[in-house]
Structure 1
Amino acid sequence: MGLEMVAVQAGPAVAAAERPQEQQVVEIYPLSRYYFGAKDARPRPAVCETAADRALRLKANFAAHGLRTCVHGVLLVELSGHPHVLLLQVRNSSFLLPGGRLGPAEQDIQGLKRKLSSKLSGADPNEDHDWQIGECIGMWWRSDFETPPFPYLPPNARAPKECIKLFVVRLPMSRGFIVPRKLKLLAVPLSQIHGNAQVYGPIISGVPNLLYKFSVDVVRD
């Protein structure tokens, strides 16, 4: 399991005195302060699910539990002087923000801590491992089980099927990330994902725009 380090050219950081007063500060630390490892994925039954099977499963879950809610974290690090976001890559193809689906009646913050521990920590996945969850910066909706997500609830969506929430996660100065072997953890520059829905999908490619209210400060000491 490797970590891809990609450097890009970007404009100079905004000085503190020049920031709009409403901007919040997110301190990020160099990628070199973090260490990375791999773990065996939890075994799951081998199931060959067709598209029709998946549609039936989603409909059954909706009938039993209602709206499906997913929570994901935006984790930022510094590399080559520029902010990068940590993404999980599945089978060298699709990209994901760390997180996942909430359980029935599970709260957003509690569920995101559980999911981050499951995907990014090596110990008990039920511990929160000191995750510092910040504010929700965006919500995406699916009006039906197979429709693309929208950054707003379409007016004709009487009973939306899924809500996807993104939260800023403030990382400490140093920590370890232990990822299941079937996944890769990549540090990808914000400038590379910006507007690049063809590669990263509509949600990830929209993350740079969602960070407009934050000032990103690199802390090197």
Structure 2
Amino acid sequence: MSVVSNRGSLENENTSDQRYVLDIYPLSNYYFGSKESIPFKDETLHDRVQRMKSIYAVHGLRTCVEAVILVELFKHPHLLLLQVRNSFFKLPGGRLRPGESDIDGLKRKLMRKLSLSEDGNEMDWEVGECLGMWWKPDFETLLFPHLPPNVKQPKECTKLFLVKLPVSRKFIVPKNLKLLAVPLCQVHENHKTYGQVISGVPLLLSKFSFNIIDP
């Protein structure tokens, strides 16, 4: 296997810190299938806001965890995104259950949306560092990459985690979702198409050296 880096070969790297070297495998290494659709909880934005208010009244701050997963295509890093109703895009993930840890919750969501079963018997997911956090001061759609100083009771926190793929695995996606590989250069600052969080992912990944591993 040959290794290609977006910052030159590893032998020429000036740093020996391997924490920021991210191996990326070709999209062709992975297999894709489908399973039964999963129900959508909200039909309208109003329904979503009302549901969030009800949950907040019982459990307080809502915490969501989302996965940043990369593959290689055309010698460029691509981000795996789920497309919902052929209209908007999401990172794989979702809301934590009360008392659930970030890592356990993200693995559960990945099993539900990207794996055949949800019982944890498949290959485990390698959840890495938290790349960033976004905050909702209120129940509206506006998000902040920091908690505004005047906000004492935020309504939602979204955490992005780097998830590293093995050299090969099988993705099983619900029929009412589409799993797409989108180039980072297309996502970068494209707020109109991908929203605040997704369009900011390339900046969060800027500290990494991408090593594209070819078969």
Within the alignment, does 1:130 sit opposite 2:130 as a pair?
Answer: no
Match of 1:68 in 2: 62
Match of 2:156 in 1: 162
How many Å apart are 1:124 and its aligned residue? 2.9
Residue 53 to residue 186, structure 1, CA distance change in 2 (3 Å):
closer
Amino acid of the structure 2 residue aligned with 1:188:
V
Q: Following the alignment from structure 1 to structure 2, what is the Cα–Cα distance between the partners of residues 74 and 155?
A: 28
Q: Please, which moves more after superposition, 175-184 or 51-60?
A: 51-60
Amino acid of the structure 2 residue aligned with 1:160:
P
How many Å apart are 1:58 and its aligned residue? 1.7
SS in 2 for 1:64: helix
Match of 1:41 in 2: 37
Q: Following the alignment from structure 1 to structure 2, what is the Cα–Cα distance between the partners of residues 165 and 200?
A: 17
Within the alignment, does 1:112 sit opposite 2:96 as a pair?
Answer: no
Q: Following the alignment from structure 1 to structure 2, what is the Cα–Cα distance between the partners of residues 128 and 139?
A: 28
How many Å apart are 1:147 and its aligned residue? 4.0
How many Å apart are 1:125 and its aligned residue? 4.9
Within the alignment, does 1:181 sit opposite 2:175 as a pair?
Answer: yes
Consecutive unaligned residues of structure 1, counting only runs of 5 or more, are 1-11
Amino acid of the structure 1 residue aligned with 2:109:
K
Residue 154 to residue 127, structure 1, CA distance change in 2 (3 Å):
farther
Match of 1:202 in 2: 196
How many equivalent pairs are there? 208
Residue 203 to residue 19, structure 1, CA distance change in 2 (3 Å):
farther
Match of 2:13 in 1: 18
Q: Following the alignment from structure 2 to structure 1, what is the Cα–Cα distance between the partners of residues 14 and 49?
A: 47
Residue 109 to residue 145, structure 1, CA distance change in 2 (3 Å):
same
CA contact (8 A) 1:67 1:161 kept: yes
SS in 2 for 1:85: strand
CA contact (8 A) 1:83 1:189 kept: yes
SS in 1 for 2:147: coil
Given candidates 126, 135, 146, the residue that maps to 2:140 is 146
Match of 2:28 in 1: 32
Residue 77 to residue 140, structure 1, CA distance change in 2 (3 Å):
same
Within the alignment, does 1:212 sit opposite 2:206 as a pair?
Answer: yes
Amino acid of the structure 1 residue aligned with 2:176:
K
Length-normalised TM-score, structure 2 = 0.90
Match of 2:82 in 1: 88
1:152-192 per-position Cα deviation (integer Å, ceiling 9, x unaligned) = 11111110000000000000000011100101010000000
CA RMSD across the alignment: 2.0
Length-normalised TM-score, structure 1 = 0.87
